Amino acid sequence: MKAKRCYFDYAASTPVDPAVEKAMKPYWSGVFGNPGALHSFGQEASAAVFKARDLVAKALGCDYKEIVFTGSATEANNLALRGVVKRIMNKELRIKGEKRNSIIHDSKFIIPKIIVSAIEHESVLDTARDLEREGVEVVYLPVSKKGIVDLKALEGELDERTILVSVMYANNEIGTIQPIAEIANMIRNFRNSKHEARNSKQTQNYKNKIQNVSDFDIRISNFETMRPLFHCDAVQAFNYLPCKVDELGIDLLTLSSQKIYGPKGVGLLYIRRSTKHEARSTKQIQNSKSQNVSNFDIRISDLQLVSPIVTGGGQEFGFRSGTENVPGIVGFAKAMEIAEKLRNSENKRLSKLRDYFISRLKKKIPKAQLNGGLKKRLPNNINIHIPGVIGQELIIKLDLAGFAVSPGSACSARVCKPSHVLKAMGSPDGRAANSLRVSFGRGTKKRDMDKLLRAVVSLV
Ligand code: PLP
């Protein structure tokens, strides 16, 4: 009889929770209408999507209109990066009637800049590289030896040209957790200082009764003070870390259903509505401008943060066209509900398993090295390098023995290259190409960790 296989690749994908499967069941062939249709079949499907969106919004602490369902986290990351760049180009060039790859600052054209951490998932990095080819400047933020983003470097890079900062919540290869609230705070302070400078300049202009400050100038300057936006890829984090967007101070947030025991083929992007900031800046300008406010009108749509990259029927509030994946969306919402409930207990349970495995492994194979620090790390991630051991060989042998682990790098059936994450942390190529990621989850018991440990020790 074939021995039971053990799955240690939860960071790549998770099994669908039975309760999620049950919640999805009515929406395959029972309630199958197009949610955009006017008849009752369509309205039933639309109600299900609405309910799911509401649940998701509650889990993130935001408005339901701020949730945009996509086909994957990769698509959500694309929408965040490309959508912000497109929005800014479209808006400013449309107003000014120009066609150039640049944005306007103080009536001058400048190249927009985005900042991403060097250890982002490929769906962010490859998109950033593509935008670079289109003329956007991209800064790749360095990380420490333990895999934490260099905040000083970020502070030094923030300037008038910066339109977006994208830093992931937790890394998919080494599980390191980034100081998201601190980064958000830094960005907020930067935006406020910009805003104050701009505001006092406008006040001065009005006080001096300079009449040539147009609506266009005001709208542009308000749009500018909302930059840079802060995007966070929280795909690996949602199972274990708090994800209320206001507490974190995030403008855009990516999630994936398949990483939280939901179905494949659904992701989402949270897109902050800019009304709060807009209300404040409008009031400040009105105060300084007194009687001249009548023609002053910043429309909410002008301050929309992102332009769609998939156009068509206008679903998802116009941010992502295409008929909604109704069963997927229902399942995703249910998966989020369950993940939130289990967050604390699973965090504790898995942290113990992680620490147990690492300490036992170090005893048995003292030369084994942990990639990334242990302190700020996801509870379900172990990433190790064993000098002298070829990573891929060990993975294949473990697979034959019934253990599914993953290479520490972006290695798949399609490509295999040294980990860009480990390289960014300063690891030499040998280590970056020969590490092992063990990621576990709800189905993992201590006995599974023991079995894997025995297998690794005997194979090494
Ligand atoms: N972001 C992170 C951090 C991930 O780990 C992944 C997948 O591993 C993605 C984005 C992309 O997710 P998907 O393949 O579901 O689009």
Cα–ligand 1 centroid distance for 256 (angstroms): 7
Q: Rounded to two decimals, what is the model's pTM?
A: 0.89
Residue 282: its pLDDT value, please? Answer: 47
**Tokens 């300057």, residue?**
221
Pairwise CA distance, residues 9 & 292, whole Å:
62
Cα–ligand 1 centroid distance for 331 (angstroms): 18
411 assigned to active site: yes
Cα–ligand 1 centroid distance for 237 (angstroms): 11
| Residue 236 CB–ligand 1 contact under 6 Å | yes
Mutation pick for ligand 1 pocket among 10, 235, 240 (CB with most ligand atoms within 8 Å): 235
Helix (H/G/I), strand (E/B), else coil: 254: strand
Which residues are 108's β-sheet partners? 105
Crossing angle between the packed helical segments 180-207 and 215-225, to the nearest 10 degrees: 160
How many CA atoms within 13 Å lie on the side-chain side of 302? 18
Pairwise CA distance, residues 237 & 60, whole Å:
13
Cα–ligand 1 centroid distance for 285 (angstroms): 42
| Residue 168 CB–ligand 1 contact under 6 Å | yes
Cα dist from 130 to 123, 133, 188, whole Å: 11, 5, 27
Domains of the chain: 6-14+344-455 (3.90.1150.10), 18-332 (3.40.640.10)
Q: What residue type is 398 in one-letter code?
A: L
Pairwise CA distance, residues 121 & 126, whole Å:
9
Start-to-end CA span in the chain (Å): 26
Atom of ligand 1 nearest to the CA of 256: 15
Catalytic position from the list 62, 232, 243, 411: 411
Pairwise CA distance, residues 394 & 211, whole Å:
73
Cα–ligand 1 centroid distance for 167 (angstroms): 14
The helix (H) or strand (E) run that includes residue 148 is none
Strand extents, DSSP E, 340-440: 369-370, 381-385, 403-404, 406-407, 435-439
Q: What residue type is 75 in one-letter code?
A: E
Q: What residue type is 299 in one-letter code?
A: R
Q: What are phi and psi of 328, to 5 degrees?
A: -60, -45
Atom of ligand 1 nearest to the CA of 72: 16
Cα dist from 149 to 120, 170, 199, whole Å: 10, 11, 32
Q: What are phi and psi of 257, to 5 degrees?
A: -70, -40
Task: List the one residue out of 209, 224, 258 whose CA is nearest residue 238.
Answer: 258
pLDDT tens by residue, the chain, 460 residues? 566 899 999 999 999 999 999 999 999 999 999 999 999 999 999 999 999 999 999 999 999 999 999 999 999 999 999 999 998 876 654 445 555 555 555 555 678 999 999 999 999 999 999 999 999 999 999 999 999 999 999 999 999 899 999 999 999 999 999 999 999 999 999 998 876 766 666 556 655 655 454 544 444 455 566 789 999 999 999 999 999 999 999 999 999 999 999 999 999 999 998 754 444 444 544 544 443 433 333 333 446 889 999 999 999 999 999 999 999 999 999 999 999 999 999 999 999 999 999 999 999 999 999 999 999 999 999 999 999 999 899 999 999 999 999 987 666 556 678 999 999 999 999 999 999 999 999 999 999 999 999 999 999 9
Pairwise CA distance, residues 259 & 12, whole Å:
7
Cβ density class 108-120: b for 16+ within 10 Å, e for less? eeeebbbbbbbbb
| Residue 258 CB–ligand 1 contact under 6 Å | yes
DSSP-H helix ranges across 208-253: 215-225, 245-248
Atom of ligand 1 nearest to the CA of 12: 8
Tokens of 394: 């060990």
Pairwise CA distance, residues 429 & 417, whole Å:
10
